[in-house]
Amino acid sequence: MVTGSARRIGGRGGLLLVLCGVLLQAGCAPRPAATAHDTPNPRLRLALTTTPDKPTSLDPTRFTMHVTGAAGGPVKGATVKVGLTMPAMPMGDNDIALHETQPGVYTGSGRFTMAGAWRITATAASGQERTTKSFSTDVR
Ligand SMILES: [Cu+2]
C-alpha cells in the first residue's frame, strides 16, 4: 500500500504560488498623468507599458501602446508616437514613432537620457480621431 505517502502535498506550496503571483503583478508601469495638453477621446483609448517597467537612463526602453476604440476592439492602422520630456528642465525633442506589430498594438524603442522624473506624451491619430495622453515614469 502506498496511499499514505501521498497525503498533504500542496497546502503550503499552493500558498507560496499565490504570493509570488501577487508580487509579480506589483510592477510599475507608466502612470497616467493628465496635463493641460491631454485631449481624451473615448473613441481612441491609449494604454502604455514600458519594458522594463522601470526604465534605466541611457539603456533602450521599449514602448508598447494598446490602442482601442469605443467598443474595446483594437484600432488598426493608426499613427502613434510618444514624446519624452522632463517636467523639470528642457531636454530637447525625443519623439519616437511606434509601429503596429499586432492589430492595435504599436511598439518602438528609445532612450531616456538621464535619471529622474519623465513625462511620456503619447499621441494617436486614426481617420478623423485624435488623442493626446500623458504618462509619468521615474527613470533610474
Ligand atoms: Cu533632464
The model's pLDDT over 33-74, given as tens digits with 9 standing for 90+, comes to 889 899 999 999 999 999 999 999 999 999 999 999 999 999
Residue 10 has pLDDT above 80, yes or no: no
Cα(59) to ligand 1 centroid in Å equals 15
In angstroms, what is the C-alpha Rg of the chain?
20
CA distance 67 to 41: 11
Band the pLDDT of 17: cuts 50, 70, 90.
Answer: very low
pLDDT at 118: 97
Cα(15) to ligand 1 centroid in Å equals 44
The model's pTM: 0.79
Cα(27) to ligand 1 centroid in Å equals 24
Q: What is the CATH number of domain 45-139?
A: 2.60.40.1930
CA distance 135 to 53: 13
- Domain definitions of the chain by residue range: 1-30, 45-139
In the block, residue with C-alpha cell 494604454: 47
